A = this chain, B = another copy of it.
Amino acid sequence: MNVTIKTIAQAAGVSPAAVSKALNGYTDIGEETRARIVRISAEMGYTPNALARNLVKKTSDILGLLIPDISTPIYAEIFKGIDAEAKRRGFNLFLCDTNRRTEFEVSYVRTLMENRARGIIVAPVDNDASHILALTKAQVPLVFIGGKVNDSMDNYVANDNKLGSALAVGHIASLGHRDILMLCDNYRTKTKKDRVEGYREAMEARGLEPRASIAPEGAAEGIDYGCQAALEAFGSGRMPTAIYASSDMVALGVMRAAAMRGIAIPGDLSLVGYDDIMFASLPTVDLTTVAQPKFEMGALAVELLCEAMSEELAGIKHRRVVKPSLVVRGSCVAPRSGAGEGASR
């Protein structure tokens, strides 16, 4: 632990500067001297001190990444994209799980800044990121990604949520469904608002009546919301023939509710989700869903960050909106004949 450049210099009979140069590929070191230095440093088990190096170089190869919850599959896949691209470009990625808490967001950003990270990618916990901006004050480049981005953020990568909804509705409607209920949690975010708006537009474009069950502020999310909202819909007088869930997790909640009520999917109820998390493809789930190119989005985020880092023009906004696609599996079939007709107009 305490073998430094100085140690090696003594052992090799040269100056510390010579050692540094030899180890870092400078050309003004003789070949035999370099070989001797390299050999000795290997023998002594030398480990360079990155703290000292970064201190004098006034930079580091560290990139920070803030993720609300890495055990959520969609974030895990975004991470994979970011990680791969960061590696490809020679950065060291520092993943921070913020546990869906803004307090942790600020403490992690502070730590990253103190360690002189080159840039930070954040999948924010909330659509309000002011606490983060207050810390960075444009001193370190920032790129946002994920379901909570909005236009108040300078740099971000997002997906075209309206288009995603159009794909989902188009698929269900083409099977003959007319009474398509949308279930949406987390309505504060622009992402979810866009999905609902896209749903409404797509329904109206087909002359169908949109019907959306939107979670009120502070309500449950994900599976819990899906289950509870679906049970409500099942209990109401008007049973839809298809449900469009605002995320796969919500769709899983619908499946749970359907299992509880003995409702067959897709026989009695067609279902489509959003996100294409890994488990949507399992044989026992087999969920038709709208897929975001998560891995590519992650890679894009790194790309944008590099742009933002290299740019002197700090004023420029770096944004990218990618297109989702529909993944057709087994959770949607044509409605039983005659069902759902009452909903048309």
Contact = CB atoms under 8 A, between A and B. Distances in A.
B114 A49 contact: yes
Contacts of A252: 282, 284
Contact of A256 (B51, B94, B256, B283): B283
A47 interface: yes
Contact of A51 (B1, B71, B94, B115): B115
Contacts of A49: 55, 114, 116
A282 B279 CA distance: 10
Contact of A284 (B79, B278, B284): B284
A92 interface: yes
B278 A71 contact: yes
Contacts of A97: 79-80, 83, 95
A137 B285 contact: no
A284 B139 CA distance: 49
Contact of A114 (B50, B80, B95, B110): B50
A84 to B, nearest CB: 8
Contacts of A50: 111, 114-116
Report the contact-size class of chain A (Cβ under 8 Å from the partner). Answer: 35 or more
Interface in A80-127: 80, 83, 87, 92-97, 99, 104, 110-111, 113-116
A137 B45 contact: yes
B111 A92 contact: yes
Contacts of A104: 87
Contacts of A87: 104
A73 interface: yes
A95 B259 CA distance: 38
Contacts of A214: none
Interface string A272-293: 0000001100111100000000
A45 B104 CA distance: 20
A47 B114 contact: yes
A70 interface: yes
User: For A51, A54, A70, A94, which residue has the most chain B Cβ atoms within 10 angstroms?
Assistant: A51
Given A79-B70, A114-B49, A116-B51, A139 B285 contact: no
Contacts of A94: 94-95
A268 to B, nearest CB: 15
A208 interface: no
A185 interface: no
For A52, A97, A116, A278, the residue with the greatest tally of chain B CB atoms inside 10 Å of its CB is: A97
Contacts of A111: 50, 92
B256 A47 contact: no
A278 B277 CA distance: 13
A256 B278 contact: no
Interface in A51-88: 51-52, 54-55, 60, 70-71, 73, 76-77, 79-80, 83, 87
Contact of A80 (B71, B259, B285): B71
Contact of A76 (B48, B55, B71, B114): B71
A83 B73 CA distance: 18
> Which 7 pairs between the two chains have the least Cβ-Cβ distance?
A71-B76, A50-B114, A259-B283, A256-B283, A95-B95, A284-B284, A51-B55
